Amino acid sequence: MNEGQNSNKQEAWLVQQLKEKDAIIDGISDVLMLLDAKNYEILEVNQAFLNSYGTSREAVFGKSCYDITHQLNIPCHHANRECPCPLEDTVSTGEASQAEHVHHDHEGKTLYFEIITYPLRDSSGRVDRCIHLSRDITRRKNLENQYYKLSLQTSKMSALGRLTAGIAHEINNPMAGILLYSTNMVKKVPEEGPLKEGLEIIIHETLRCRTIIQDLLEFSREKEPQRKSACINDVIEKALRILDNEFRLRHISVEKHLSRDIPDNLVDVNQMEQVFVNLLLNAIEAIQEKGRITIRSDLDPAHKYVKVEISDTGCGISPENMSNIFEPFFSTKAKGTGLGLAVSYGIVRSHQGDIKVSSQPGQGTCFTIEIPLSE
């Protein structure tokens, strides 16, 4: 083999090695840069980098990392001391370093990155280049932020619940007195006249206030379920019997599709009955008159939970209200307290279950409750 053939073979080998190197680098899902240790100049990037920043290799070669990732004309740790630069640590210590940075992509979206830098040394052992590896932790950070907000909201709601319980108890006693005296007085006044009419208004409004106070107390109790073995179908049947008169008065038909395969389960019967009554009352309010409510019960295919669906042919829920319906004190009804669904949600969650809703304005609403089967 002559010298020319050896040279061609070596060249082909080098080309193959470069292709393999590029394939390995571009196969890394994390954002990668090769940087000059002196001036932070970008020498190489991988495909994940180009995808993340919506750019090309030609557009970033020769530019500094802080220019591309932070849109700065000086190193990021000089512009902001709270933004530590792991690259500076690696150059000064000769060791790998780590930090978290906030970047913005080509669409202006905020991205969170965990950055790790590794030193590369020249023949004399001096750090002349660095590998800059960025892992996108945006989803994790967003979940952490959501958890923090949820935790803060939970603390606020717990404090509000305690405050509400105290206020409700204080109001309950004078309201009971007003109801007692107005009920006695209405029996002693003439049948016709403004006095009786005024007293009846007082009684009506007092009863409405008492209902609101009762809802507030139920919402603030946060009591653990008192579980006992029961069939969920029996609980549904009892809730339907309670509201039977309402169905007949409003000409609402009820369709039942209750599976016979559902085994007894450990539930708080009173609490679950309250959930079904609340959801059925919601359906009645949504229909007003002459509609249909369908209630189904079944086991999931894996026999892990009981599923109950309550659907109606009512007015439905607008898309802008869907995310708020389980929030306490949120109501689209003129006389609603906004606590029925919040209480129901809390009860289902205390049973380690889930409650979902789907709705189309003008076409009706369907609530789905899933309660895990006890071992």
Q: In the listed set 136, 166, 200, which residue is the last one of a domain according to the structure?
A: 136
Q: Which residues of 158-177 are buried (b: 16+ CB within 10 A; e: fewer)?
A: eeebeebbeebeeebeebee
Question: What whole-number distance in Å separates Cα of residue 340 and Cα of residue 130?
Answer: 60
- CATH code, domain carrying 81: 3.30.450.20
Whether 213 and 250 map to the same domain: the answer is no
Q: In the listed set 136, 165, 184, which residue is the last one of a domain according to the structure?
A: 136
Whether 293 and 193 map to the same domain: the answer is no
Q: In the listed set 171, 194, 221, which residue is the last one of a domain according to the structure?
A: 221
pLDDT of 191 higher than 90: no
Average pLDDT in the 197-210 region?
83
Whether 78 and 166 map to the same domain: the answer is no
- The pLDDT value recorded for residue 254 is 92
Structure tokens that stand for 8 in this block: 């061609």
- The pLDDT value recorded for residue 81 is 64
Measured between its terminal Cα atoms, the distance across the chain in Å is: 77
Question: What whole-number distance in Å separates Cα of residue 331 and Cα of residue 341?
Answer: 9
- In this prediction, residue 374 has a pLDDT band, given cuts at 50, 70 and 90, of confident
Question: What whole-number distance in Å separates Cα of residue 370 and Cα of residue 74?
Answer: 56
257 strand-pairing partners:
296
User: Measured between alpha carbons, how far is residue 42 from residues 62, 64, 106, 184, 338 in Å?
Assistant: 6, 6, 18, 88, 57
Contact 338, 329 (CB under 8 A): yes
Average pLDDT in the 108-128 region?
85
Whether 232 and 367 map to the same domain: the answer is yes
- The pLDDT value recorded for residue 294 is 93
Contact 271, 227 (CB under 8 A): no
Whether 291 and 235 map to the same domain: the answer is yes
Q: What tens digit of pLDDT does each residue of 38-66 get? A: 888 888 888 888 887 788 888 888 888 88
Whether 271 and 306 map to the same domain: the answer is yes
- The pLDDT value recorded for residue 237 is 93
What radius of gyration, in Å, describes the C-alpha atoms of the chain?
34
2/265: higher pLDDT: 265
- CATH code, domain carrying 360: 3.30.565.10
- CATH code, domain carrying 185: 1.10.287.130
Query: What total number of domains does the chain contain?
Result: 3
- The pLDDT value recorded for residue 235 is 92
Q: Coil, helix or strand for 42? A: strand
Range from 89-103, 138-152, 175-189, 265-279 carrying the lowest mean pLDDT: 138-152
Structure tokens that stand for 235 in this block: 């609980």
Predicted TM-score of the model (pTM):
0.47
DSSP character for 333?
S
- Which residue range forms the structural domain that includes residue 10? 3-136
Contact 135, 114 (CB under 8 A): yes
- The pLDDT value recorded for residue 82 is 61
pLDDT of 105 higher than 80: no
- Element at 99 (helix H, strand E): strand 97-104
Q: What tens digit of pLDDT does each residue of 285-339 get? A: 888 888 899 999 998 877 788 999 999 998 888 887 777 777 766 566 555 556 6
**How would you classify the pairing of strands 97-104 and 42-45?**
unpaired
Task: Please report, as a single letter, which amino acid is at residue 25.
Answer: I
- The pLDDT value recorded for residue 220 is 59
Q: Coil, helix or strand for 374? A: coil
- The pLDDT value recorded for residue 236 is 93
Whether 169 and 237 map to the same domain: the answer is no
**How would you classify the pairing of strands 127-136 and 31-36?**
antiparallel
Average pLDDT in the 119-134 region?
87
Whether 33 and 86 map to the same domain: the answer is yes
Contact 246, 284 (CB under 8 A): yes
> By CB neighbour count within 10 A (0-12 exposed, 13-18 middle, 19+ buried), where does 134 fall?
buried
Whether 256 and 345 map to the same domain: the answer is yes
- The pLDDT value recorded for residue 307 is 93
